[in-house]
Structures are given as C-alpha cells and as structure tokens.
Structure 1
Amino acid sequence: MDLPSLNLLRTFDAVGRRKSLRVAADELRLTESAVTQDIRDLEEQLGLSLFVRQPPQISFTPEGAHYHQAVAAAFADLRTATQELLAPASSSPLRFHAIPYVATEVVGPMLGDFLNDWPGVRVELEGHRRTPDLQTGEADVSIRYGFNIPDQAIPLARTSCTLVCGPSILSEVRADPPGAFERFPAYSMAGYADLWQRWTEAQEWDVTPTELITLNRYRELLVAASRGGLTLGLLPIITPMLESGELVVPFPDRIIPLGALSLSVRDAVRYRPEVVALVPWLRKLFQGYVQRTDEFFSSLAVK
C-alpha cells in the first residue's frame, strides 16, 4: 500500500506525544472528534490498532509504540530539514511592532513563553503608535488597533470601551455622573478625545467631561485614573487592572463596541516557521483576554 496521508500521520504523532486526544486536538487546532476520526482512518488503512483506549487515558499497543518511534523520527528529520532550508532567512531577528500598551502589558510579559519553544529565534519588540510600513520592511509583524480590520490582516480581538475610575470615587460616580465629570479629573489619550463624546452619546447623556487631561501613554493614563480619576477603558486589554481592583467599572452595562485589534504580517516572512507558529499563539493569547473579560463582567452581573 501507499503511505498514509501526511495529515493522518501528523495526528498520530501528536496523539502519541501528548497521550491525550484533547491535548493533541488543541495542538493541531482541530476538534477532538476530528482527531479521533483521523486515528480511526489510519488504523483502518493499516489494518491494526495503534492505541488502547481506556478513557480518560490512552496508550499505545505494541505495534503503535513501534510505529510511533519511526513516525516521530521522520517528523523530526522533516523539521530539521525545513529549519536548515530556511536558516538564511530566519537568522535575522523578527521585528515585532505593537501599539505601546499591547507591547508592554500584553505581549511583552508573555513572549518568553513563545520563545521557549523557539530558542533560536530573536525578536525585537517595539511599541509605538505610528503604524509601520510592512512592505518596505519597517517591521515584520504588527499588531494594530482601529475601527476596521485592514485587508489581509488577521483578527485578534474585537474591542469595546466603558467608563472606569479609581476605587476611591466609585460611589460618587455612580450616584452623580454629571457631577463626577465636574469634580474629578478625566483623562484621554492624545488624538482620541472624540471617544468621550462617542461614549456619552451612546449613553444618551447630555454631559461630557468639561476638561480633559491628555496623556500620550495609555498605561500612564490608566494609572492616573486609578488614583481618583475617570477614563475610558479599552476592553479586553485592561481587564487585568479590573481583576486586580486597581480600576473599577461604575456602570458595567454601559459598554460600546469600539473597533478591533488585528495582526498584519509582511509577505516576505509570512511562511517563516516561527511566524507560522506565532499567529495562533497570538490569537490564543488575545482570546484568553476576551474570555477573562466575559468572566469578569459575568461575575459583576451575579453580584
């Protein structure tokens, strides 16, 4: 017979390494039922059983263990050959751009986890507001925020905003929002002052902060608000500050949609192995923020 398909062997290799259908499915970004079907198809083609299934555990049959040694070695050879083939292109650092808050507070602290799986890869992470020109090589990958997702960009997370404030003024803001806008400092990012009007109009409020203090860095703005001020919090990326109690949400039901975070990749590096791996890693990272945000606001509803 001809060799089984590469996809079936790849699934077999993952299940063999992980000893779990669910974990293998996560690695391959497939459903558990799809992984199960791949294993059944492979066993049918070979005419023998490869695994002993005793849920929740899964283990090799003697034939499966012997076959997996050969399959795993073959995939290791393929990985090595691919890395050697692409070594000249991959030897330069990966230039990673993100808006500043995302670079320092979201991606930066977690990037080491990704690099643990790619020890030979160097990454230069830069956080600045100016959008780089990927096609001229100003950056290789770029996380961008905007009201629309650019063509060919990869969605990471839909964003929204709501009013947040320091814990010390929570009760006063809830009791008298117009008065709070007059008594407490309100902060805005430079170039985004119109977001306040957008948010208050969505609430059908006639009042907006009379004076805005403009800052250039979002982290500094959030810290300032946490000390007795008001600002608009961009969800899901500020959720850790809500979870810690540094910032609080006076009106959890007053959230408006506000654009999206997306990933753009330079064509010349799109198929570098580390970039191919980086894309799902980033999507999983940001979806984790989305899930935490949903859980946080659900907990407020319960209270």
Structure 2
Amino acid sequence: MPSLKSLQAFEAAARRGSFAAAADELHVTASAISHQIRFLEQEVGVSLFHRNTRTIALTDAGDSYFHNISEAFTMMEAGTREIERRGKSDILTVHSVPSFATQWLMPRLARFSAQHSSIDVRLYASADPVDLNAGLVDVDIRYGSVLPSRGVTTISLPDEAVIALCSPDLLKRSPHPIREPADLQYQTLIHSEVNLLTWYGWAKLHGDIRLDLDRGPRFDRSFMSISTAVDGHGICLESHILVEKELQTGRLVKLFGDERDMVACHSISMLKAKQNVPKVKAFQTWILEELKLSKAT
C-alpha cells in the first residue's frame, strides 16, 4: 500500500485541481504535495498528472485512480462519523434463551452497566441456537445440552435448585393441605414441557409418588409457567434463579422447606478467539459472580 500521506496529497490535488490548493487544505507546502505525488507515481508505476508551468490535469490512469481513492476516503470519513455518533462504548451482543433473559438476566443488566460503563449490552432472546462463527453475537446462553462446535468454548453455569412453588392464595384456599410431596396428587400441576426436570422425574426422585400427570396446563417456556402459577392456577416446578423476583415479592412461595433438586441447566458459549476480548471476559466474570449470589429464598 502507498503511504497515506501520498494518497491524501493526490486526492486533494485531484479534487482541487491544484497543488497549491491541496497544500492549503493539508497545511503543507506545494513542494511537499508535489514530492508526495511523485513518490506515489513511482509506487504505482504510472503518471497520474499532466503537468505544465501553471496547471495540472489528471491522466486517464490518474482519473480512474482518483475515483477509487476518493470513494475510499469517503468511506473512511463515514466510518469516523459513525464512531463519533456511537460514542466510545463497546457493544456486547448477548443471545439468550427467553426465560433466562426475562426472569434473571434483564433485571440485573443495570448492575453490569454500573460496573462496566464503557460497555453497552444488546440482548436478543430466542429459543433458536445461533451461529457464533457468523460474528453477529458475542455470547450465547443456552438451556440444556450444547453440541460441540469448532472454535467455540462452552462453560457450564452453576447447577440450579429446582423447586415446587405456588401462589400464597392457592396455598390458603386449597381444600387439601400441602405438607409433603405426595399431597400434590390433589393439585393442578403446571407443566414446563422443555424443562430438564419434569413432574414425572420429580415424582421419581421423591419416592416414586403418584401424581396426576395427565392434566394441567402445558407451556414450552418457563416464564409462562411461572406467570400462570403467580395467577394461582396451579403448582409449578422451576429453577430457583428464574423465580427469585417472585419469591422476594411474595407472589410465589416455596413448598416443602429447603427440599430441592440440583440440576445442570444453563451454559454460556463464546468463540475461543473472543473469550479474552475485554467485553466478553468482563461479562463472563460478571455472570458467574452474579449466579453465586443467587440463592433460593
């Protein structure tokens, strides 16, 4: 590549039609402009200007080169304006499964921003997997098993306590007291069908108790099951990190005391080439620290 100084001198002289005018614009002498253009002509191996004592004119090769160089400078100027509009922040693009994004991540993003004011987070939520190699997403948070992918690092997030919950109103008005897991045979169970631990598996873990598994509303997202439980329409079985807000506000209550089942649920993935990029490393460290603070209440 020719030097940027020689390209700037050529572009300014071609646009202004004069070495002197180009020199005024770039705050150098006309002889400096002439020297840079001579150097450029030696680099590319062709004459770019016709010269006489008073005027200059582009050669055919120079005219073609000017259009290309001018377009490149325009693009650089536009890129600079775009950076100035965005400011000095880095943008971290996070993709997450919907329930984790809605129930746990979104309420905490303000904490991340407070700790890392130079990083802005763009959050996408969907159940569809993303191709990190496409470069559109920095971090992907998944639920369940993740297939290995070339060039991608996946870190399992801490195991989560899966607990049975219901609204305080349902607990009070139920004609059948709920004191132990077997008492749920008289209750409407809310099914999160994509959860790793379903009511069937939960019943096996708790003495193979008999539950009415054929009835009850069914959802493919935990946040919908949680909302239904808050409205008093049944008992839900969910990870404690997804119901922290509902427990803290009293909209849901935990059944059976401290009894819980630990399940490996979520993971975080990133490109190996990006795992030490400051914004990605900062988010990874932050999310692990936040999850340590998340406890069933």
Point out the structure with max Rg over C-alpha. 2
Match of 1:222 among 223, 226, 233: 226
Q: CA deviation at 1:92?
A: 6.9
Please give the residue correspondences for 1:112-127 in structure 2 after superposition, counting only pairs within 5 Å: 112-127=110-125
1:189 aligns with 2:187: no
Q: 1:244 to 1:154 in 2, by over 3 A?
A: same
- Corresponding residue for 1:168? 169
Return 5+ residue gaps in structure 1 as ranges: 1-86, 297-303
1:158 matched residue in structure 2: 159
Question: How many equivalent pairs are there?
Answer: 203
| Distance verdict in 2 for CA 1:157–1:181, change over 3 Å | same
Separation (CA, whole Å) in 1 of partners of 2:255 and 2:158 = 24
1:173 and 1:258 map into 2 onto residues whose CA distance is 28
Letter in 2 for 1:111: L
Partner of 2:247: 242
Question: Please, what TM-score do these two structures have when normalized by structure 2?
Answer: 0.59
2:97–2:142 contact (8 Å) kept in structure 1: yes
The within-5 A match list for 1:1-303 is: 93-146=91-144, 152-170=153-171, 172-175=176-179, 180-182=184-186, 184-192=187-195, 195-204=198-207, 205-228=209-232, 229-289=234-294, 292-293=295-296, 296=297
**Following the alignment from structure 1 to structure 2, what is the Cα–Cα distance between the partners of residues 254 and 91?**
45
Contact 1:189/1:217 (<8 A) preserved: yes
SS at match of 2:225: helix
Structure 1 residue 104: Cα displacement: 2.1
User: Deviations 1:86-115 (Å, cap 9, x if unpaired)?
Assistant: x9xx97732201121221232222223322
Name the structure where helix makes up a greater proportion of residues.
1
> Cα distance 1:96–1:141, how it changes in 2: closer, same or farther (>3 A)?
same
User: 1:130-183: per-residue Cα shift (whole Å, max 9, x none)?
Assistant: 22222233521012222689784233321131211121232635158666544x
* Percent of aligned positions that are identical: 23
Distance 1:136 1:240 in 2: 35
- Structure 2: 5+ residue stretches without partners: 1-82
The one-letter amino acid of 1:159's match is E
- Report the aligned-residue RMSD: 3.0
Task: Report which stretch shifted further, 256-265 or 189-198.
Answer: 189-198
String of CA shifts for 1:49-74, please: whole Å, max 9, x gaps: xxxxxxxxxxxxxxxxxxxxxxxxxx
CA contact (8 A) 1:149 1:262 kept: no
SS at 1:210 equivalent: coil
CA contact (8 A) 1:145 1:262 kept: yes
